């Protein structure tokens, strides 16, 4: 009988130690849990608040990628502030002819009844700093969960280009001073797991006050809709 009692005591002791170690492991796991993530986003780019007679044509695309550092602010660590850095490329197909006339850059709406245009777009390239307020249903061991990440994104324009191809001739320009160097707006990512709906609305104009169409500043803002992929 005493052998059974001894075996029982050994078993209980081992189980208690295992439970304690498991509890410690889980505690350490939760203590260190963060959603640090690389991200890739693909968007359809629209021009909001565009001037009269300005239209978009073709597919205007954007691709964005970077890294976000997750900083939890509650004990469960499912509420956090995210701060990151990334790169962004955005094209806009539209009917504004951006051409060089001597030392000046001119802007005019294309009359499609007079000229056949095969390509007309401008592209912006930015270094971006996204800031997100992050709420999720995740745990330290569960990788598929719901998330709602509203935020703010600031971008620095380091390069821009325009392409114009028509029957009357072609023209390519780059690094125009008429684009705003600092561009910023509101963001929202909502989804489950890897797939997330993403939207960006620019709060300031893509162009600065020197870009004028018929004497009026082109106060067009960027509006992007697409998908966001967060990669662990």
Is residue 102 very low, low, confident or very high in pLDDT (cuts 50, 70, 90)? confident
Indicate if the alpha-carbon torsion angle 77, 81, 82, 83 is positive or negative: negative
Q: What is the DSSP letter of 95?
A: S
Alpha-carbon gap, residue 121 to 45, rounded angstroms:
12
Block residue for tokens 């052998």: 3
In this prediction, residue 27 carries a pLDDT of 54
Longest dimension (CA), the chain: 105
Average pLDDT, the chain: 86
Q: What is the pLDDT of residue 94?
A: 93
Q: pLDDT digits over 112-142, tens only?
A: 767 888 899 999 999 999 999 999 998 877 7
Q: What was the pLDDT predicted at 166?
A: 87
Q: In the prediction, which pLDDT does 18 show?
A: 43
Percentage of residues of the chain with pLDDT beyond 70: 86
The model's pTM: 0.83
109: which 2 tokens?
A: 């709406």
Phi/psi of residue 8, nearest 5 degrees: -65, -40
Provide CATH code, domain 34-231. 2.40.160.20
Question: What is residue 61's predicted lDDT score, i.e. its pLDDT?
Answer: 95
Helix (H) or strand (E) run with residue 197 in it: strand 195-202
* Sign of the alpha-carbon torsion through 153, 84, 38, 207: positive
**Three-class SS of 134-184:** EEECCECCECCCEEEEEEEEEEEEEEEEEEEEECCEEEEEECCCCECCEEE
Using CA of residue 124, residue 130, residue 134, residue 138, what is the dihedral sign? positive
13 pLDDT more than 60? no
């Amino acid at each position: 009988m005493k052998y059974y009692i001894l075996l029982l005591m050994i078993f209980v002791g081992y189980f208690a130690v295992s439970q304690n170690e498991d509890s410690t492991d889980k505690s350490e796991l939760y203590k260190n849990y963060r959603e640090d993530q690389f991200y890739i986003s693909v968007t359809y780019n629209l021009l909001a608040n565009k001037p009269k007679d300005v239209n978009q044509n073709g597919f205007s695309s954007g691709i964005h990628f970077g890294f976000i550092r997750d900083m939890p602010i509650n004990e469960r660590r499912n509420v956090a502030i995210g701060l990151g850095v990334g790169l962004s490329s955005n094209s806009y197909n539209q009917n504004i002819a951006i051409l060089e006339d001597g030392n000046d850059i001119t802007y005019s709406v294309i009359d499609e009844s007079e000229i056949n245009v095969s390509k007309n777009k401008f592209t912006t390239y930015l270094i971006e700093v996204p800031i997100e307020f992050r709420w999720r249903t995740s745990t330290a061991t569960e990788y598929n969960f719901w998330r709602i990440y509203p935020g703010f994104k600031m971008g620095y324009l380091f390069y821009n280009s325009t392409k114009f191809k028509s029957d009357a001739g072609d023209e390519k320009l780059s690094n125009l001073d008429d684009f705003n160097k600092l561009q910023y707006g509101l963001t929202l990512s909502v989804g489950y797991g890897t797939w997330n709906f993403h939207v960006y609305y620019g709060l300031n104009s893509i162009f600065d006050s020197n870009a004028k169409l018929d004497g009026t500043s082109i106060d067009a803002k960027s509006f992007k809709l697409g998908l966001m992929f967060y990669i662990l």
